[in-house]
Chains A and B, each alone.
Chain A
Amino acid sequence: MSQQSNTPLLKIEDVTKVFHIREGFSTTEFHAVDKASITIEADSPKIFAIVGESGSGKTTLARMVLGMETPSMGILQYRDRVLAELSNKELKQWFYKEVQPVFQDPFAAFSPLKRIDHYLYETVRNYKMASRKEADAYIDSVLREVGLTLAEVKGRYPNELSGGQAQRVAIARALITKPKLIVADEPVSMLDASLRMSVVNMFRKLKEENQVSVIYITHDLATAYYAGDQVAVMLRGWIVEKGTSEQVLGNPLHPYTQNLKTSIPSVNVSDAWKEKIDLAVVEADEYTRTGCKYAGRCPFVMDKCHNHIPPNFVHEGRAVKCFLYEDPETMAQAALGEVVVT
């Protein structure tokens, strides 16, 4: 790689996105993403999973990374360039060549009136990836990366493909520019369990064989754990826990991550839930809380959680946004509590 190895591929630093909601004459500020920081190193490709429930701000974060939304505060830097300072031309010719999106619903991403190979040829043409003569061979080689061939796809409309095939064409389209980073927003949530695995396996393969880093946004903890090298857990705009996937999902420290993990319905019958959860408080408006956003339903809530925003405590290389990890004493209690919870 020609870049200096110490410049990260992507640096998200204290990025905040504020939306304003007007009701009559009053305006409410609403922090969809609140001081999120993520770094993806350039030296070795990584799959970075961002997990969170609906309304946690993960899609807004992805849209900012893709330059589709400008951050209200904070810095987004791709290699040595700040995203906000790129000209339109640079965005189109350089940035989108290196960073490509894959969206949730492949059938919404492709026009039903156009043949699906149209998008592949168009991307080749726009980024001058191959000459007119070589285009067929090049597209075929890219489609083979995702387990398809040009012959299978050529001349077909999106509705003639299955969901898994259409999503693979969408990923192939993203691969045409030979990107260094793919931002995939819920790429498997519309797919059946079997197809889900084929797409997730493909991300693993792309990382290893094509040296592509992936930001994998999902609400599905299991595939995040399976595919992700690094995981960030989002709650109401905050990143509450961040580290390697073994750390964060294997042995979660933040009470919210612990709750998420125990709420996954397991196919192990012996793991069936015993304790009940109270959902009534889940719906409470957590975005506008003054202290910790999880304080309303946290089993370990302390007085200061209601009034103060917890900072990030670094614990064995992972960051946890929770007062429990402020001093060793409560930390031990939390670890004890975790045994009770699970």
Chain B
Amino acid sequence: MSKPIITTQNLKAYYITHAYGVERTVQAVDDISININAGEIYGIAGESGCGKSTLLKVLLGSFAPPLTVVGGSIAYHLDDQDIDGVNLPEDEKRDLRWKQISYIPQGSMHVLNPVRKIRDTFHDFISAHRTVTRKESLKMTSSYLRDLGLPDKVLGSYPHELSGGMRQRVTIALATILWPKLIFADEPTTALDVIVQRGVIQMLREVQQREGSTLVLITHDMGVHANLADRIAVLYAGKLVEEAPTRTILQEPRHPYTKFLIESLPSLEGREERNSIPGRPPALDHPPSGCRFHERCPLAKDICRTIDPEMITVGPSHRTACHVVAEELSHEPAI
């Protein structure tokens, strides 16, 4: 197996602010170790405020104080080169983002320049990276948009003339036209209607498969993950609580939080009462001691209140951090 395209080890990224002599630390990403393989779609799930977007910013190498990497490492493996993501000089980091990495930010339908036509925006973008004439860039843009099923007339439109879903798809096209190796997408389908969302999911998959790019996808919607991601990581309060292939995590979730996240979703299969989990994610400037989920966990024991659970392997490429699961596992006969 080839080397993972991104490896993080015990990555810690905190927001550190100083106001009126008081230091405040928000532990938004705490002790996260993951491997993202080349050519896969890696989904990151969790409720709002659990550190998904912060993790993405750090992986993207696009962060500035107050967000600081306080520990751990990020290594990229691109073009057979190992690159240290934390200590990389800013200009090399920018070069990396320039050539290999693309980012579809949250609410990205608002990023298009409102006073430029779509084709001009594409030309600006392409000519910043490559030496192209206007004619070449237009040809490139129109053939790419056609491949993605977008009508030619969008080229001559201004962003306000397009619907939200269309703008979102144009932005995805813009972010991927130069075939980046790594694509980061932050909530790319939130705020879209279901039918449009389905089209955008389909498009992301096409774009990813075309060049075998790696896609790191953030969304709180488990349904979107189920239809797009190959593997899913579940974050809770800045910690990785479970990671497994999509099918495994949806069919046999082990961590109580993951179980809750999947079971609480209403579906069109039944109308029986579903329970919502009490409480809300903790504030990360003073995270709870021990397991960060213990305050809301129905299975919490004494050990959960004091000791931070370690990541344990519970199946093929399936790992979770939970004392209760660890205990169950120790009672099961060894295979």
Contacts and interface: CB of A to CB of B under 8 A. Distances in A.
B98 interface: no
B9 interface: no
Contacts of B227: 265-266, 272-273
A282 interface: yes
A164 B49 CA distance: 14
A39 B5 CA distance: 58
B151 A267 contact: no
A192 B193 contact: no
Interface stretch (A12-20, A95-103, A193-201): A193-201
A267 B263 CA distance: 10
Contact of B266 (A223, A265, A269, A278): A223
Given A197-B274, A269-B247, A260 B195 contact: yes
Contacts of B262: 267
Nearest to A52: B193
Interface in B188-237: 193-199, 201-202, 220-224, 226-227
B276 A249 contact: no
B164 A226 contact: no
Contacts of A246: 271
Interface in B260-319: 260-262, 264-268, 271, 273-277, 280
A222 interface: yes
Nearest to A245: B271
A194 B226 contact: no
Nearest to B195: A263
Contacts of A249: 268
Nearest to A199: B276
B70 interface: no
Contact of A283 (B47, B163, B221, B266): B163
Contact of A195 (B265, B275, B276): B276
Interface string A268-290: 11001100111110110000000
Contacts of A221: 194, 268
A259 interface: yes
A53 B194 contact: yes
Given A192-B47, A193-B261, A225-B266, A282 B198 contact: no
A341 B274 CA distance: 29
B224 A194 contact: no
B165 interface: yes
Given A54-B193, A265-B223, A280-B151, A200 B47 contact: no
Contacts of A198: 276
Contacts of A193: 47, 220-222, 261, 264-265
A219 interface: yes
B78 interface: no
Nearest to B163: A283
A190 to B, nearest CB: 10
Interface residues of A, number: 43
A197 B260 CA distance: 12
Nearest to B270: A226
Interface residues of B, number: 46
Contacts of A266: 223, 226-227, 267
A264 interface: yes
Interface in A206-265: 219, 221-223, 225-226, 245-246, 249-250, 259-261, 263-265
A23 to B, nearest CB: 13
Interface string A153-175: 00000000010100000000000
Given A225-B271, A265-B223, A276 B202 contact: yes
A192 B226 contact: no
B166 interface: yes
Nearest to B151: A280
A283 B162 CA distance: 9
A280 B149 contact: yes
B322 interface: no
B199 A277 contact: yes
A244 to B, nearest CB: 11
Given A200-B266, A226-B271, A278-B149, A194 B195 contact: no
Interface of A: 53-54, 162, 164, 192-198, 200-201, 204, 219, 221-223, 225-226, 245-246, 249-250, 259-261, 263-269, 272-273, 276-280, 282-283
- 5 cross-chain pairs, A with B, having the tightest CB-CB distances, nearest first: A265-B223, A279-B199, A197-B276, A53-B193, A226-B266
Given A197-B274, A268-B226, A269-B226, 11 more contacts: A164-B280, A192-B47, A193-B261, A201-B273, A221-B268, A222-B266, A259-B195, A265-B227, A267-B265, A269-B250, A279-B149
8 contacts: A194-B280, A198-B276, A222-B268, A226-B266, A263-B197, A265-B197, A267-B222, A278-B149
